Amino acid sequence: MNASLIGRLDCLLSFATIAQKNNYVRPHLFDNDILDIKDGRHPVIEKQLPVGEEYIANDIYLDNQKQQIIIITGPNMSGKSALLRQTALIVLMAQMGSFVPAKHAYLGLVDKIFTRVGASDNISSGESTFMVEMNETASILNNLSNRSLILLDEIGRGTSTYDGISIAWAIAEYIHENPSVKAKTLFATHYHELNEMTNSMHRVKNFNVSVKEVGNKVLFTRKLIPGGSEHSFGIHVAKMAGMPKKVLDRANQILAQLEGEREGKESGIGGSERKINLKLGGDNKKQELRIKNQEPRANNQEVFVETINKQPSTENLQLSFFQLNDPVLENIKDELQKTDINTLTPIEALMKLNEIKKMIGG
């Protein structure tokens, strides 16, 4: 008995110590569905900033009536994930009985917190990252409540762009349209296509983590502002990461090409042969998830090599290869379309390049 009382005192003193040391405030708790955090900070990250740098605090407001789901767009590294996590951590700390890193926090008590991160690097365990991601997400959708807080970080990233967008969309829709429960959701994504959801779902709101383009460079302001974002900045990030200029130029070119193509044929961009059967709801055991990934092997290499030798190797001409009906070229096209540059690390980008090179027998 003594021991647990002492433990309790010790914990509460610890809360007092951190509150004072880190400038936390007492949260105001309510039995309602509103989360209103003013100038919230990430308790761990704010302690690790270099001296002199200040953590950019952000406001988050969610409720079940008007602003149930927030779609946060913004490029990689802009702080989307930190923003999601800090929201959960603030709620969690408050419900432990601790003060919280914010200017003020009005919190409706939460009964479940779910967070999912797309394509977390689970390669070592041998599972398909996408499969893991879908498994994890399914378990949320089967356990929703009115007092749930859901954080989805780049869900759908583990598959091709269009699959990813579709799945992310469907998940958001499910949460929004669920007739019995309204779960508060923060959805971070770099698919700015998801911004279009606001058109059909009125409790979805768009926000973006603003970035400023100064000249040809991106400046991260890490401030959350209302509204969607136009396009992503993956290539800029690649530049910051020190990618060779050649790769960047090429990426820009391909992007322009792909974006042009997309406008051409709006739906059903082919290439991806994946079929996803996702039955959501009900028992998650019954969830079926079939992914067929048929990648036709490059069986025609000699022909291709011949072709490439005949062609002058200017970049523009190479692009036009895609119009040929050569299966190898089709493969490369597929591969490029499937590749989401935004999610690639520099190393992965180089590996991809290497892969493509191998396809043409280089």
The one segment of 7-15, 197-205, 239-247, 256-264 that binds another protein by CB under 8 A:
7-15
Question: Residue 61 — φ and ψ, nearest 5°?
Answer: -130, 130
For residue 236, the minimal CB distance to another protein (Å) is: 25
184 binds another protein (CB under 8 A): no
Element containing residue 226 per DSSP (H, E): strand 217-226
State which residue, 92 or 359, has the beta carbon closest to another protein.
Answer: 92
27 binds another protein (CB under 8 A): yes
The one segment of 33-41, 96-104, 300-308, 338-346 that binds another protein by CB under 8 A:
96-104
For residue 279, the minimal CB distance to another protein (Å) is: 18
State which residue, 126 or 268, has the beta carbon closest to another protein.
Answer: 126
- The CA distances from residue 51 to 4, 41, 47, 89, 91, in Å, are 38, 16, 10, 23, 27
Pairing verdict, β 58-62 and 35-40: antiparallel
Element containing residue 104 per DSSP (H, E): strand 104-108
Amino acid 252 reads N
Q: Which of 41, 116, 222, 338 binds another protein (CB under 8 A)?
A: 116
Q: Is 215 left (phi over 0), alpha (psi -120 to 50) or beta?
A: left
For residue 4, the minimal CB distance to another protein (Å) is: 7
51 binds another protein (CB under 8 A): no
Do residues 153 and 117 make contact, with C-beta atoms less than 8 angstroms apart? yes
Size of the site for another protein (CB under 8 A): 57
- The CA distances from residue 322 to 206, 245, 254, 256, 360, in Å, are 36, 24, 11, 14, 13
Sign of CA dihedral 256, 117, 208, 178: positive
- What distance in Å separates the CA atoms of residue 174 and residue 252, rounded to the nearest whole number? 35
146 binds another protein (CB under 8 A): no
DSSP assignment letter at 51: T
Q: Which of 59, 120, 243, 280 binds another protein (CB under 8 A)?
A: 120
228 binds another protein (CB under 8 A): no
Q: Which of 23, 139, 200, 311 binds another protein (CB under 8 A)?
A: 139
110 binds another protein (CB under 8 A): yes
For residue 37, the minimal CB distance to another protein (Å) is: 16
Tokens 């079929």 belong to residue: 275
Q: Which of 23, 63, 74, 88 binds another protein (CB under 8 A)?
A: 88
Q: Can you give the binding site for another protein, defined by CB under 8 A? A: 1-22, 26-27, 29, 31, 43-44, 47-48, 85, 88-89, 92-99, 109-117, 120-121, 136, 139, 143, 151, 153
